[in-house]
Chain A
């Protein structure tokens, strides 16, 4: 079975400071990992994904994420936070061995608040 955990319900960061949103996962095989962002009253939007290769993945809006196999983590990062980054962030995992319909397990979400 696959699972994903986001240990922080909320992260507060000052504008201009670096931000990190944490995610850890559990799968039986090699994972496919995703980050999505949800702005108020909107659907989820894809930010970035890790499939294979370089452990540092770059995505939209200046975000990046680091895959760490030994720690089973996939933390989302940004060097300098913007107020407009304030949103709900979801980590998701897919186990390639889990079968046909692209079952994806989502975390519970982390609310990012960037303080001006």
Chain B
């Protein structure tokens, strides 16, 4: 099993360009999350999904959109990239109803916006 995978691993964008980050999981988990990791700030939640067809905003949703059309995939979109969105992006999954369980993370996508 691949677990949680993220595509692409690296990307460089120019300001104003758009892109989509893909998170795929084969763990059959209901919950999926997108975080960004910035130095000295830990992980901050961008958006999350509690099931296919549902999404919700996290702590820092501005400038991002998400979709969960299939249970196994969670897409994060940047419509018009800004330098402030330079970060490492992590996808994570979790088991529904098991509030004490850990989250499972993908390997990350390093995004640079010039």
A binding-site residues for B, Cβ under 8 Å: 9, 32, 34, 36, 41-46, 49, 51, 90, 94, 96, 100-104, 106-109
Q: How many A-B residue pairs have CB under 8 A?
A: 53
Q: Which residues of A contact B56 (CB under 8 A)?
A: 101
**CB-contact partner of A49 in B40, B45, B102, under 8 A:** B102
Chain-A contact segment, one of B61-69, B73-81, B104-112? B104-112
Q: Is B99 an interface residue (CB 8 A)?
A: yes
Given contacts A49-B100, A102-B31, A102-B99, contact A43 B40 (CB under 8 A): no
Given contacts A32-B100, A101-B56, contact A42 B43 (CB under 8 A): no
Q: Which residues of B contact A109 (CB under 8 A)?
A: 42
B binding-site residues for A, Cβ under 8 Å: 4, 31, 40-43, 45, 48, 50, 56, 90, 92, 94, 99-108
Chain B binding surface SS class = strand
Q: Which residues of A contact B4 (CB under 8 A)?
A: 43
Q: How far is the CA of A44 from the CA of B40 in the complex (A)?
A: 16
Given contacts A43-B106, A44-B90, contact A32 B99 (CB under 8 A): yes
Q: How far is the CA of A102 from the CA of B103 in the complex (A)?
A: 9
**CB-contact partner of A43 in B45, B90, B102, under 8 A:** B90
Q: Which residues of A contact B92 (CB under 8 A)?
A: 44
Given contacts A32-B99, A107-B42, contact A100 B107 (CB under 8 A): no
Which B residue sits closest to A32, measured CB to CB? Answer: B100
**CB-contact partner of B50 in A34, A100, A106, under 8 A:** A100
Q: How far is the CA of A9 from the CA of B40 in the complex (A)?
A: 8
Shortest beta-carbon distance, A64 to chain B, in Å?
16
Given contacts A102-B31, A109-B42, contact A43 B108 (CB under 8 A): yes
Q: Could you jot down 15 A-B contacts, CB within 8 Å?
A: A9-B40, A32-B99, A36-B105, A43-B108, A46-B102, A49-B100, A90-B42, A94-B99, A94-B100, A101-B50, A101-B56, A103-B45, A104-B103, A108-B41, A109-B42
